[in-house]
Structures are given as C-alpha cells and as structure tokens.
Structure 1
C-alpha cells in the first residue's frame, strides 16, 4: 500500500469525530494543559490570546466538553480533559519526532545500511571496488544485498524496500520517470570453452557455436535470454544443455565438459584465475552491454544515497 492509499484508508476508516477535527486544535489543547494558562499557551504557539480562546472554544464544541475551567489565574482540566491529555501529549511527541529534520549524513561516523537488489554477476562487477573504497571513507557503513527477482527491481526501488538496483541494459530498454540510471561499466560478450574440446589457439566459429551444446545462466529463470534473442534475429538457435541461476559455478563445469558458455569478458578473465578454460571471441556481432546502477529520485534517505552515488561516480569504470 503506497502513501496515498494508506492516507486515504486512514481518512475513510478513522472515527468521524477525528476525521472532522482540525488537528491543530490538539496543539492548543496540549499547550493549555501544560501551561494551565491561556496567555502562556498563546505565547508558545505565537497566537494572540483571543485567537487561542477562539480555537479552544471550537475544540470544546467539537468534543462536547468544557475541557478547562478557570480557578484564579489557572486553567484547570475537567475529568474528560485529564483522561485525554496523556494520549494527546504522547501522540504529538511521536509525530514531532517523526517529522523533525533528519541529522546531516556523515559518512565517517554513520552506521547507515544500504540495500541493493543484485545478481551474483552484478555483485561481482561492482562490490569489490566499492567495498575497498567504503572501508577507507566510511568504515561503519553497512550493505545488505538481496537477490533481484526481476531484471531491474523497479517496484522494490519505488516501494523503498531497496535503495539501489543493479541490472543490465539492452537495446530495447526504456527510461522510466523518477528512476535515475548510472552506467557502471560497459563490456562485450565472449565464449569460454575447455581446451580439451575446443583448441585454445583457434577461434570457435559460428558453425561450431551452433552445433555445440551450451550452458546458460538464467538469474530470473527466463526461458529466452539476450543471446538467444540476438541469434533469433539471425535466424539461428543454440542448443541449451544446462540452465543455472549463478555464474560463479559455471566455469568449473565448462572446464570439464564440451559445453560452451557465453559470458561477459570481465567475468571470464577474472574467473579464469580459478579454473582452466580458453576465452574466444563471440562468432557473431551483438551490441555491447552496460551494467547499470538504478536509484529512485524520491528515496527518503536522499543525503546518504546522494553521497553513495557520488562515490560510485568516482569509481566508475574502475572495478577491482
């Protein structure tokens, strides 16, 4: 339920007496209760004595109770006002704390937690460089990474469940209002293969690529991925032997099988340090892709998010 619907729900179902009440009158009630004086309450609220008396009269009519009566120079509460006073005071105190200005964000001392919607590859692309820098500048900052249930977690962003979402751009992507996009890194796709089945010194040609069986990473359990869509434009189709949700285990399977895998060069070159396989050019032309960082302009933690966006811009295209 968004803020507008939540507010409408409250208005529709609150008690009619409260729905028709000018809530500013509760400030008047609380001030008179605490000061036991119309003059001192008026001074606190920056009202004239007559304006405050008029407001108090309106509240008396609305609630059907005298609320206060004069004893000497003091305003004494009725039994009804006494019963009401604690609830009004507590409610106004909580509301005041909720709406007061947030303290300025200080990265050096803040323990703020940022939530990112990610896949394992987008995490691999961004967080080595980010965490190294954050530990220098903001050692108490925390991050929570959650698996993205969709290509770009726009609903989670706009609902405030995540602060940032990582995703891939494709040529048919469209911009959405209030969603900020930052290009993090641009790369190309390559093919990885075991040299036992595909000699490392000879490129994999298109005929071999189509004839082979493939391992495909599908983070969102999608039936058709970007590579398959590009092949379809050429009137071609590859044979998929294995689908899996994570990129990190895939190269170990490739190293011991005749399967091919198409992955970003950035991941291929770094994972190659852990397992033996060869990297080949993709045997057909497709557009390069971009890892993007998405954020919502209306995020309530704007100071903290702005700081992190500036930090990311400084690190842009310099992943570890």
Structure 2
C-alpha cells in the first residue's frame, strides 16, 4: 500500500525552507547566505532545487534585489510561522539546576498525602531550590494515571496496596508504609470489634468512592458498619470526632499528628487490614524530567531518613 502521508513534504528537502525564508526576508542571496553561514553558490543551488520542487520561480532578480513571485508571497507567512514554531518546540531540554530553577511542578494530592509529605518537603527544598514552585491539584481518582500519562500533572501522591500491579509507564517510589488506627473522643476507654460495629462512623472518601478498604474487609468477615458522615476532606474530620460519639479510621501517621492539636484518643483497629503504601508516582517520559527526577531523589532521601529515625 502506497504511503500517502504528507505527500507534499516528502517531495521537498525541508532543509531548503530556511533558505527560502532568509531570501524572502532579506531580498538578497548574499545577505541570506551570511545569515545561514553558507556560501552564495550553495544557497543559489538550494534555491534552484526548491524552484524545481515547487514548480515556481519563487524569486526574480531586479537589480540587486530578489523580488518574490506571487506564489512565494502566498506561502512565505506559513513557512515563517512553521519554522518559528518548530524552532521553539525543538529547543533541547535544558539541564536542571535546582538552585536557579523556576519550574512549576503540578502535583496530584489528597488532604492526607499533602499533609504527610508537604510540610517536610517544603522545609527541605526551600533552600535547595528557592525558585521551584508547586501547584497542588485535587483529582477525582488515584493514582491520577490518566493525568500523568497525558502530562497534565508531573507527580502524583497516592495510596497503593502492597500487591498492586503498577502501570508499566509509571515510576513509583514508596514514601511511607502506614496502617489504619481508629480515633475517638477522649471519653472512650476501650474498643472491641463489637464496639466498632455498634458505633456510628465518619468516613473520608477523597474520590467519592462507595466502599473503602475497611468496608471490603468487614464485608469479607460478614459485617458492615454504620456510616453517618462522608466527607472528601480529612482536615475537618478529627474536630468532628472530638465533639461527637462517632469513630473514624485514619492512617496512623495522620492520627498521631492530629492528636497533638485535638482532644482525641487513638485505638488499634479491632480487625485486620493490610498496611498500605503512600507512593510518589511519575511518568517515565515526563516533560519535566530534570525537575521531577530531582524531586523524586529528594523525596526518596526524606523517606530513607524517616525510616532510619
């Protein structure tokens, strides 16, 4: 089957287009040759080839000037625009230097992932990369696969079960392994499975999911829990728990931080749910490879330091 893609382009050596553009702008073969750093004879030869390819004289000599034909005048703006666009788009990616970078990284988050990562991250990078900025985006699912693959976000902070199969186009590093605990008001003295099932519950659903990991675990045991409040935000939830008789399952790291600022009590979850990982996801072909690679290294070092505490 004959290849019919770009038939006009396949007839022309595209290296001839800068020659056309330069002659059109300068109206001079000599000045165009100087700009392109080539000999006038080489440029004249290029013009001859282009005349044959386009079947048009393109330029007429009038005295010392090269005057464009009607067809040359017609195509000149499009050629100039295409060359400018390609020149801009094909600039090689610059090396990333954190101390002078002004890149903006778009990062997909939830309340929890921002809460557990960004305070320490900003403390770390504010001196190493003072010009680096971040745009945090809440997304309706995890781990923001579609947005990462499309280049809409540069990194995603998401949850992952230990046995989850990762997408082949994504890189992921484990920031933190965590497990669930239960928080309650201060008056509660103990928490059994019977107590848990009898209580009312507040559930955080960042992606408006109908069932969470805990609900599925309870279902396998033949139980359900009474969900009284669903909220997409974790940040207000502990304050609601403090003032009510509801229970809330929450990652241990977040519960310990909230316990410093609210009057809540922490209990072990009275049934087994596997630990989960908080992961940093990036696309293997990210458009900001230098910045994302550097930030991933910083995050990995932070994770190693936290694991060694």
- Superposition TM-score tier, normalisation by shorter sequence: 0.7 to 0.9
Render the CA deviation track for 1:149-185: whole Å, top value 9, x for unaligned. 1021011111111100111012452211110001001
Contact 2:185/2:263, CA 8 A, preserved across alignment: yes
Q: CA deviation at 1:311?
A: 1.0
Tell me the distance in 2 between the aligned counterparts of 1:296 and 1:221.
25
Tell me the distance in 2 between the aligned counterparts of 1:58 and 1:171.
63
Tell me the distance in 2 between the aligned counterparts of 1:57 and 1:78.
14
Q: CA deviation at 1:86?
A: 5.1
Alignment equivalent of 1:78, drawn from 60, 68, 73: 68
Render the CA deviation track for 1:217-258: whole Å, top value 9, x for unaligned. 001111100111111122221111111111111111111211
Contact 2:57/2:69, CA 8 A, preserved across alignment: no
Give the match for residue 134 of structure 2: 143
Give the match for residue 233 of structure 2: 246
Q: CA deviation at 1:46?
A: 6.6
Contact 1:42/1:52, CA 8 A, preserved across alignment: no
Alignment equivalent of 2:172, drawn from 177, 181, 184: 181
**Is 1:116 paired with 2:116?**
no
Give the match for residue 190 of structure 1: 181
CA gap of 1:35–1:236, structure 2 versus 1, over 3 A, is same
Contact 1:129/1:318, CA 8 A, preserved across alignment: no
Matches for 1:46-195 after TM superposition, within 5 Å: 49=41, 53=45, 55-70=46-61, 76-80=66-70, 81-82=72-73, 84-85=75-76, 87-171=78-162, 173-195=164-186
Alignment equivalent of 1:37, drawn from 12, 23, 29: 29
Unaligned residue ranges in structure 1 (runs of 5+): 1-10
CA gap of 1:47–1:125, structure 2 versus 1, over 3 A, is farther
SS, match of residue 99 in structure 2: coil
Contact 1:166/1:291, CA 8 A, preserved across alignment: yes
Tell me the distance in 1 between the aligned counterparts of 2:94 and 2:88.
12
**Is 1:220 paired with 2:190?**
no
Tell me the distance in 1 between the aligned counterparts of 2:93 and 2:305.
33
SS, match of residue 157 in structure 2: strand
Tell me the distance in 2 between the aligned counterparts of 1:30 and 1:251.
66
Give the match for residue 5 of structure 1: none
Unaligned residue ranges in structure 2 (runs of 5+): none
Alignment equivalent of 2:253, drawn from 262, 266, 274: 266
Alignment RMSD (CA, Å): 3.0
SS, match of residue 132 in structure 1: helix
Q: CA deviation at 1:136?
A: 1.5
SS, match of residue 169 in structure 1: strand
Deviating more after overlay: 288-297 vs 86-95: 86-95
Tell me the distance in 2 between the aligned counterparts of 1:47 and 1:228.
76
CA gap of 1:62–1:75, structure 2 versus 1, over 3 A, is farther
Give the match for residue 296 of structure 2: 309
Tell me the distance in 2 between the aligned counterparts of 1:114 and 1:291.
19
CA gap of 1:317–1:227, structure 2 versus 1, over 3 A, is farther
Deviating more after overlay: 58-67 vs 112-121: 58-67
Q: CA deviation at 1:65?
A: 2.1
